[in-house]
Homo-oligomer: A and B are copies of this chain.
Amino acid sequence: MAEMAIDYSDIQLARSRIARYWKHPTPVVRWRAFEERTDVSGLRIYVKCENLGPTGSFKLRGALNAVLALSEHEARHGVATHSSGNHGAALAYAARIRGVPVTIVVPKGASRRKTDLIRQWGGTIVECEPTQAGREDALARVVREQGSVAIPPYDWAPVMAGQGTVTDEFLDEIPALDYLLIPVGGGGLISGAAIVARMRRPSIQLIGVEPQGANDTLRSLERGMRVPHPAPMTVADGLKAFVGELTFPIIQKMVDRVVDVTEAEITKMMLQCLEELRMVVEPSSATVFAALTKERLTPGSRVGLILSGGNVDQTLWERLFAS
């Protein structure tokens, strides 16, 4: 068994770093409408609201930890990444906090909402072809020309440690969680969660959730090795990423199971959460709410859901409300 990329002390260190710039933990609210609707008696459903953080997703935690962990020397020419989503906005915000320049490589056709956020926080945008090769080439060029440090979105120990702080805060507030449901894209959020939970609450059931259209982690677990999805396609664009080299072994060893949900289940749940939670739940997060309705849970359990983000394009709402 390979050693894990991070341990709990990395997450504690990340938490102390982040806390200087982002004071309040994100709120935890109850999903009472679900509790009242379910046949399972005595369930308590707790939602950790990462959508209410400064950039509207948990991604700021990993980006901030990674940027703050750089030495003065490393940080002097700034940071860069490729991202069509929340990681880019988070890195732009984190770099502004550190006071270093930041460039985000963004595939052509990326959502206007996301690029607006990056610009708002002072990030420079470089467009690239919307392929994995196009993204990597463009980022390599930026790093070479600027001397900046590339901060990967998930397969990077300081990023994983930062994402672990979500679950560390969650367990401070609700220590006796019996289940924790977490969306799985590249695996940064769930690997951080697993490291924390196995240390602080070993009995917790950790359940990862993917869209069927990008269920590479589920397939990889079945095969016992990392297997990419042949053609990831889902409204949950934050979950299209291929599970990482560093994150996969942690998931394999420490997560109880990974389940998947359909596109229709995801979009239906976005509308239901808008009504019942009075919050915006982006498609990547709606996966865990959808999975909850299919899981067989023990009566009387305390269930934690990570609402990972709330950045939704207006065009998606238009589509959902028109149908």
A271 within 8 A of B: yes
- A269 CB to nearest B CB, Å: 14
Q: Is A292 an interface residue (CB 8 A)?
A: no
A39 CB, nearest partner CB in chain B, Å: 15
Contact with B along A104-132 (1 / 0, CB 8 A): 00000000010000001000000000000
Q: Evaluate contact between A310 and B52: CB separation under 8 angstroms.
A: no
Within 8 Å by CB of A317, from B52, B113, B310, B321, lies B321
Check B113 against A278 for contact (C-beta < 8 Å). no
* Contact, CB under 8 Å: B314 / A52: no
* B-chain residues with CB within 8 Å of residue A52 when the two chains form the complex: 27, 29, 277-279
Encode contact with B along A67-104: 1 for CB under 8 Å, 0 otherwise.
00000000000000000000000000000000000000
Q: Say if the beta carbon of A56 comes within 8 Å of chain B.
A: yes
Q: Give the complex CA separation of A103 and B136 in angstroms.
A: 63
Inter-chain contact B278/A274, CB cutoff 8 Å: no
What is the oligomeric copy number? 2
Chain A 276-305 residues near chain B, CB threshold 8 A: 277-280
Closest residue to A33 on the B side, CB-wise? B120
Whether A311 contacts B271 by the Cβ 8 Å rule is no
**Within 8 Å of chain B (Cβ to Cβ): is A172?**
no
Q: Which residues of chain B are near A311, meaning CB under 8 Å?
A: 278
For chain A, residues 1 to 56, give those with C-beta under 8 angstroms from any C-beta of chain B.
27, 29-30, 32-33, 36, 49, 51-52, 54, 56
Instruction: Say whether A275 faces chain B, with CB atoms less than 8 Å apart.
Output: yes
A27 contacts which chain B residues (CB < 8 A)? Answer: 27, 29, 49, 52
Assess whether A322 is interfacial by the CB under 8 Å rule.
yes
Which residues of B are found within 8 Å of A318, using beta-carbon distances? 321-322
Closest to A274 in B: B280
Identify A322's interface contact among B32, B56, B322, CB under 8 A.
B322
Find the B residue at minimum CB distance from A281.
B278
Known: A51-B278, A278-B52. A314 touches B32 (CB 8 A): no
A106 to chain B, nearest CB (A): 19
The smallest beta-carbon distance between A181 and chain B, in angstroms, is: 19
Q: List 30 A-B contacts (CB under 8 A).
A: A27-B27, A27-B29, A27-B52, A29-B52, A30-B54, A32-B54, A36-B120, A51-B279, A52-B277, A52-B278, A52-B279, A56-B278, A274-B312, A274-B317, A275-B312, A275-B314, A278-B279, A278-B310, A278-B311, A279-B279, A279-B280, A280-B280, A314-B321, A317-B317, A317-B321, A318-B321, A318-B322, A321-B321, A321-B322, A322-B322
Residues of chain A whose beta carbon lies under 8 Å from any beta carbon of chain B: 27, 29-30, 32-33, 36, 49, 51-52, 54, 56, 113, 120, 271, 274-275, 277-280, 310-312, 314, 317-318, 321-322
Additional pairs, 9, CB under 8 Å, beyond known A113-B275, A271-B314, A322-B322: A32-B54, A33-B120, A274-B317, A275-B312, A275-B314, A279-B279, A279-B310, A280-B280, A317-B321
List of 10 A-B pairs having minimum Cβ-Cβ separation, nearest first: A278-B310, A27-B27, A278-B280, A51-B278, A321-B321, A318-B321, A29-B52, A279-B279, A56-B278, A317-B321
